[in-house]
Amino acid sequence: MDLEFTEQEQEFRREARAWLTANVPAEPLPSMDTREGFLAHRAWERKLFDARWAVVSWPREYGGREAGLTEWLIFEEEYYRAGAPGRVSQNGIFLFAPTLFEFGTREQQDRYLPAMAAGEEIWVQGWSEPEAGSDLANVRSRAERDEERGGWRLSGQKIWSSRGTYGHRLFGLFRTDPGAQRHRGLTYFMVDLAAEGVTVRPIPQLDGEPGFAEVFLDDVFVPDADVLGGVDEGWKIMIATTGSERGLNLRSPGRFVAPANRLIELYRRDPRPAERDAVVRAWMDADAYRLFTFGTVTKLQAGGAIGADSSINKVFWSEMDVELHATALRLLGEAGELDDGDGGWLDGFLFALGGPIYAGTNEIQRNTIAERILGLPRAK
Amino acid sequence: MRLAYTEDQELFRDTVRDFLADRCTTADVRAAWAADTAISARWVELAKVGVTGIVIPEEHDGLGMGDEELAAVLVEAGRAALPEPLLESAVAAGLLAEFAPDAGWLAEIAAGRAAASVLLPGQRLAVEAAAADVLVIGLADGDLHVATPADCVLTARRSVDRSRKLFTVDFTPTARTLVASDTRRALARAADRGALGAAAQLLGLTRRMLDITVEYAKQRVQRGVPIGSHQSVQHHLANVLIKLEFARPVVLRAAYSLARDLPSAGRDVSMAKIYAGEAADLAARNCLQVHGAIGYTEEHDLQLFMKRAWALGTAWGDAGVHRDRIAADLLGDAPAPPTPAF
Ligand SMILES: Cc1cc2nc3c(=O)[nH]c(=O)nc-3n(C[C@H](O)[C@H](O)[C@H](O)COP(=O)(O)OP(=O)(O)OC[C@H]3O[C@@H](n4cnc5c(N)ncnc54)[C@H](O)[C@@H]3O)c2cc1C
């Protein structure tokens, strides 16, 4: 075992910290789900990109630093420690990009990755539909062949697309073979949200801002060049993207260690002994998540895969996040209900509450753990 | 950065696992329940595998290893519910190695010809105090004594886990038994080794309870379907696995910190005891529930592991003790106590 960071990694940490200290905005940006905040967050992404901090683990040619997993973890720790803004481009750079690197053609990568990394184009996920939530294989939005123009015509409806209100491009599954059952006959498409036939309806989330969108598609033309992977082979590619979402990429430990440390400060300023154990618990859970992630990184570096273990990961971070923020609100006492209060704890709480729902609900994750890891018989 | 055992460590652990699968069956554990002492002929065999001498220096015929290897092996001891006082003997041996290396006990323990037990400040119960050949007793004032059962008045107490032969120890220190003074730091470290060892065993116990119960849930049929196909049953067991998987790296890190005497070692060990204890608690509860009435019997093997888990949950500092220690460290409620008071 070796829980030390190498000299090179420590140097990387110092460099990241120095840049973040000098550049993180002193005042929090407005919510990225408002028009103003969306622009401000994209400007921040641009700034990160210009300094090569937007996509540290990517190849240099796309603006990255080819950072290894450990360095990526270090960067994330420093990022959240510095109180830097949320990543408006996260569903692109953390979820879609790994899939694009794995399944995309060189031409597709060249076409989309640079603008994604620079925050010029914000990508949104288009999995869910009114009739396809946990049962994603029930996707009904369809794509019909347009031989003449060399592409597909997409029709149907996507819903709950995060950042879809202001975002630029959508990736998602559409049914290309209407005769095929369930998860067969689905294809992974990239769709320009400014294309003719696309209508976007904003949906306010719990915090009142239009963080969700419903996306209606009416005969939207998508060229063959925007099919990712093979026609009718979208399901397995989707698994790769959602695996990133539940696994390491979306929720690095730094995201939880930073608020856990802030929670400790909150308690120290105004101790409420009844909450002491909950505060300690929140801190320990964030620390445990960090260690668990170190274990995962160790496994990956030895050539292993995450696989169904990502379900364990997802249940843990999402429930920990809710508890952490609920504890903070209790510590605030009467001020806990204030939406204009200090520290952004209420916002954090509302945000955390989505965790057990998105990326596959925690009930579904527990089914996966039972069936795929423990080997219990499938539920009827 | 690498949070995993080395190949050599894994090899050693696997050897012990195989040995215990063969030589410490649930029938063997039950035999220990019925006997006056759980120290059996297996002790010598354990010594041959190297297990009784893990932390004993090589010049005294031990393996000269440390807390990482001890923890790895104790996970296996937990999985098998090994009744011998492997941990207690190792904690005692560590103190002997530091303060009384030439008293002759170390080579005897390493060879399996002797077993040791230990009583640290704050502890009132000693495991196998009557059958142990040597008792290492640390007092609150920092004095360390090496005694034999004959030097003490022992009163047998009954553990929920009948394979743990417990005694209260009435000991009158003498100049003859005193081997060192001012050993508080070492005693605190020994207590941490004990808590780490308990945590490691709790991990193994959790895994075993889960394995037993997953098997049962696949086989037990009600209303025409295996009970394990019901979501409520599945989620009970998934929750145990989640707790276990998050406790494992926490225990691993504690072993790492303690082996290197890092400043955070005490806190890391406390966290390990809490996480492993919670995993085992949940395992005991959920696995019992999934078994139904058959799990509520002495005849079913689940109880062997459940009861060990309860016993080890309170031994070496219960969750409250360890939470207090972490809270003191994080929140500055009070100065961190130098040694967890049990
Ligand atoms: C904050 C947030 C952001 C999101 N962002 C996106 C996005 O960007 N793109 C996108 O496509 N989607 C997004 N989603 C949608 C998300 O993927 C779905 O909400 C999720 O898949 C669940 O689907 P559903 O809401 O239709 O719930 P349902 O599937 O209807 O489930 C409702 C309840 O029933 C339970 N349930 C359903 N089936 C089972 C079962 N088999 N076993 C046990 N329990 C079951 C669920 O666990 C849940 O508790 C987002 C959701 C949230 C909350």
Ligand 1 centroid to B83 CA: how many Å? 48
Contact A331, A267 (CB under 8 A): yes
The answer to whether A3 touches B256, Cβ cutoff 8 Å, is yes
Query: Which of the 8 DSSP states describes residue A96?
Result: I
Residues of A within 8 A of B245 (CB-CB) are 292, 309, 312
Nearest Cα residue in chain B from A368: B238
* Residue linked to tokens 């069936």: A371
Domains B7-182 and B185-330 share a fold: no
> Which residues of chain B does A288 touch, with a Cβ-Cβ cutoff of 8 Å?
246-247, 249-250, 271, 275
Taking a contact as any Cβ pair under 8 Å apart, which residues of chain A between 148 and 177 contact chain B? none
**Residues in chain B closer than 8 A to A246 (CB atoms):** none
| C-alpha span between A245 and A250 (Å, rounded) | 5
Dist CA A11 CA A5 (whole Å): 10
| B229 vs A1, A264, A379: nearest CB | A379
Distance A357 CA to ligand 1 centre (A): 5
DSSP 8-state symbol, A376: P
| C-alpha dihedral, A317 to A320 to A324 to A327, nearest 10° | 160
* 342 residues of chain B, pLDDT tens digit each: 999 999 999 999 999 999 999 999 999 999 999 999 999 999 999 999 999 999 999 999 999 999 999 999 999 999 999 999 999 999 999 999 999 999 999 999 999 999 999 999 999 999 999 999 999 999 999 999 999 999 999 999 999 999 999 999 999 999 999 999 999 999 999 999 999 999 999 999 999 999 999 999 999 999 999 999 999 999 999 999 999 999 999 999 999 999 999 999 999 999 999 999 999 999 999 999 999 999 999 999 999 999 999 999 999 999 999 999 999 999 986 554 545 555
- CB-based contacts of A151, cutoff 8 Å, min separation 6: A221, A222, A223, A224, A226
Domain ranges of chain A: 7-88, 123-234, 247-373
Give strand pairing partners of B225: B222
Q: How big is chain B, counted in residues?
A: 342
Cα separation, A29 vs A52, whole angstroms: 21
Say how many Å lie between the CA of residue A125 and the centre of ligand 1. Answer: 13
Ligand 1 atom closest to A132 (CA): 26
Cα(A165) to ligand 1 centroid in Å equals 19
| pLDDT at res. A243 | 79
The percent of residues above 90 in pLDDT, for chain A, comes to 93
Q: Which are the contacts of A11, defined by CB distance < 8 A and separation ≥ 6?
A: none
What's the CA gap between B74 and B76, in Å, rounded? Answer: 5
d(CA B138, CA B183): 8
Ligand 1 centroid distance, CA of A356 (Å): 9
SS3 labels along B252-284: HHHHHHHHCCCCCHHHHHHHHHHHHHHHHHHHH
Residue at A63: amino acid letter: G
- The answer to whether A268 contacts chain B (CB < 8 Å) is yes
Domains A123-234 and A247-373 share a fold: no
How confident is the model over A267-308, as pLDDT tens digits? 999 999 999 999 999 999 999 999 999 999 999 999 988 888
Ligand 1 contact via A160 beta carbon (within 6 Å): yes
Residue of A31, A351, A357, A378 to mutate, ligand 1, most atoms within 8 A of C-beta: A357
Tokens of B256: 């790492």
Q: Is A69 in the B-facing interface, judged by CB distances under 8 Å? A: no
pLDDT at B233: 98
CB contact under 8 A, B249 and A271: no
Structure tokens at A17: 């910290």
Mean per-residue pLDDT of chain A: 96
Catalytic residues of A, which ones?
245
Q: What are phi and psi of B231, to 5 degrees?
A: -65, -35
Domain B7-182 matching CATH 3.30.1360.200: the answer reads no
Q: Which of A242, A119, A107 is nearest to A173 (CA)?
A: A242
> CA nearest B68 in A: which residue?
A1
Is any ligand 1 atom within 6 A of the Cβ of residue A134? yes
For ligand 1, is residue A357 a contact (CB within 6 Å)? yes
Classify the complex by whether its ipTM is higher than 0.90, answering yes or no. Answer: yes
Q: Specify whether the CB–CB gap between B134 and B218 falls below 8 A.
A: no
Whether residue A304 lies within 8 A of chain B, CB to CB, comes out as: no
Q: In sequence order, what are the residues at sequence separation of 6 or more whose Cβ sits closer than 8 angstroms to the Cβ of residue A370?
A: A376, B228, B231, B234, B235, B237, B238
pLDDT score of A245: 73
Cβ neighbours of A377 in B, within 8 Å: 218, 225-226, 228-229
B139 vs B117, B123, B145, B317, CA distance in Å? Answer: 15, 10, 8, 17
CB contact, 8 Å: A9 with chain B?
A: yes
| Binding site membership of A361 for ligand 1 (Cβ less than 6 Å) | yes
Residue with the smallest CA separation from ligand 1 atom 13 is A160
Say how far apart CA B32 and CA B40 lie, in whole Å: 8
- Residue A380 to residue B3, Cβ atoms within 8 A: no
Alpha helix locations (H) across chain B?
A: 7-23, 26-34, 42-49, 67-80, 86-99, 105-111, 184-219, 231-259, 265-291, 302-314, 319-331
- Domain A247-373 indexed as CATH 1.20.140.10: yes
B86 in Cβ contact with B201 (< 8 Å) = no
Cα A39 to ligand 1 centroid, rounded to whole Å: 28
Tell me the one-letter amino acid at A58.
Answer: W
List CB contacts of B103: < 8 A, sequence separation 6 or more: B96, B146, B179
Where do the structural domains in chain B lie, given as residue ranges? 7-182, 185-330
Cβ of A363 less than 6 Å from ligand 1: yes
If pLDDT is split at 50, 70 and 90, which confidence band does A202 have? very high
Say which residues have a Cβ less than 8 Å from residue A302's Cβ, sequence separation at least 6: B4
Local structure of residue A31 (DSSP, 8 states): P
A376/B230 Cα distance (integer angstroms):
9
Distance of CA B104 to the CA centre of its chain: 25
Q: Which residues contact A336 (CB under 8 A, 6 or more apart)?
A: A329, A330, A345, A346
Looking from the CA of residue A164, the nearest atom of ligand 1 is: 8
Q: Which residues of A touch B264 (CB under 8 A)?
A: none
Is pLDDT of A331 > 90? Answer: yes
The answer to whether A304 touches B258, Cβ cutoff 8 Å, is no
- Supply the pLDDT for residue A335: 95
A370 close to ligand 1 (CB < 6 Angstrom): no
Q: Mind telling me how many Å the CA of B242 is from chain A's nearest CA?
A: 6
Q: Which amino acid is at A106?
A: R
How confident is the model at residue B342, as a pLDDT?
56
- C-beta of residue B195 within 8 angstroms of C-beta of residue B316: yes
CB contact A1 to B (< 8 Å)? yes
* Residue bearing tokens 């890891």: A373
Q: What are the CA-CA distances from residue B169 to residues B8, B156, B308 (Å)?
A: 39, 9, 22
Out of B234, B242, B326, closest to residue A315 by CB: B242
Pick the CATH number of A123-234 from 3.60.40.10, 2.60.120.10, 1.10.1840.10, 2.40.110.10: 2.40.110.10
Smallest Cα distance from A147 to chain B, Å:
46
Q: What is the pTM of this model?
A: 0.97
Out of B231, B233, B234, B235, mutate this one to test ligand 1's pocket (max ligand atoms within 8 Å of CB): namely B231
The CATH number given to B185-330 is 1.20.140.10
Q: Do A378 and B229 touch (CB under 8 A)?
A: yes
